[in-house]
Copies of this chain bind each other. A is one copy, B any other.
Amino acid sequence: MGRDVIMREVGLRDGIQGFGEFMPTEDKLRWVRAEADAGMAEIEVTSYVPPKLLPQFADAEAVTYGALAVEGLTVAALIPNLRGAQRGFELGVHKLNFVMSASETHNQKNVRRSREASLEEFRTIVEQAKALPAERRPVICGGLATALGCSYEGSIELSEVLKWVGKLLEAGADELIIPDTVGYASPALVKRVYAAVLAEAGNIPVAAHFHDTRGTGLANLCAALEVGVRHFDASLAGIGGCPFAPGASGNIVMEDAVYMLESMGVRTGIDLDRLLAVREILKGSLPSLQLEGAIARAGLPRGFAPATLAA
């Protein structure tokens, strides 16, 4: 089945990392399997951080192994540092999403070190990855949080974003992730930033990661699509409230993003009905988690013809 864009589920990581209840490992894996069945090509399944920091990821090993058993699925995990990367190397995960911030203040608050120190760690991670046998070498993604704005520093200069993008590329990133961490981006800013990053990145894939905190999530996705982005993070039911914006919604809603893209003739490779059905796993496992989603509420338009199934 052809795909024009790659949608990447981040609900198992960004969506539940700050939620107060532990989601049982088997439920996480049911979610992973059900989404893979619906056509999701890539899932960020966990984060390799100390469980005492984020208890939700105490089962990171079991979740990784379980996800790796799903045929055809690209299994990714977030890493904040070298120790996390080394856990990933041992587990044989397919992709490691390293995170540092464009904002110095945010980097200090998030990973308690300077941006330069984070970058140095990233260089070491890439070197160690390259030393692995090819069949065990994961794809290393450089993520640049707050690239579209920061709750501490406000707007971030594009020149600053491009400087750190350049350093991540120089260090040997296989892919980039450019997130609007706190939901500050407008479609105009999205076009400016992603067009510039894509130009800098050349053949290196650039993923966009939007939060719908201020209602502009899908408009931002469209804007990024227009300038050439083809990799998008989103979370089932839009889970993942931002800790810097109480009451705000989280990631863009995967189902709504898939609906919008498919209705525009953009093939996601995802069966929307089967994707919508995965919400039941979330509901059953974490009944107090707030689920968002316009399509889940309103239903599909009469005569809706998804691009993926037409192909």
Contact = CB atoms under 8 A, between A and B. Distances in A.
Interface of A: 149-155, 182-184, 186-189, 212-216, 218-219, 221-223, 245, 247-249, 253, 256, 259-260, 263-265, 293-295, 297-299, 301-303
Contacts of A188: 263-265
A193 to B, nearest CB: 13
A109 B216 CA distance: 34
Contact of A186 (B216, B248, B264): B264
A54 to B, nearest CB: 23
29 contacts: A150-B302, A153-B302, A154-B301, A154-B302, A154-B303, A155-B301, A182-B301, A183-B298, A184-B301, A187-B260, A187-B264, A188-B263, A212-B294, A213-B294, A213-B298, A214-B298, A214-B301, A215-B218, A215-B253, A215-B260, A215-B294, A216-B218, A218-B218, A219-B260, A245-B298, A245-B299, A248-B298, A249-B297, A249-B298
A222 B154 contact: no
A172 B58 CA distance: 69
A150 to B, nearest CB: 8
A298 B244 CA distance: 9
A151 B303 CA distance: 9
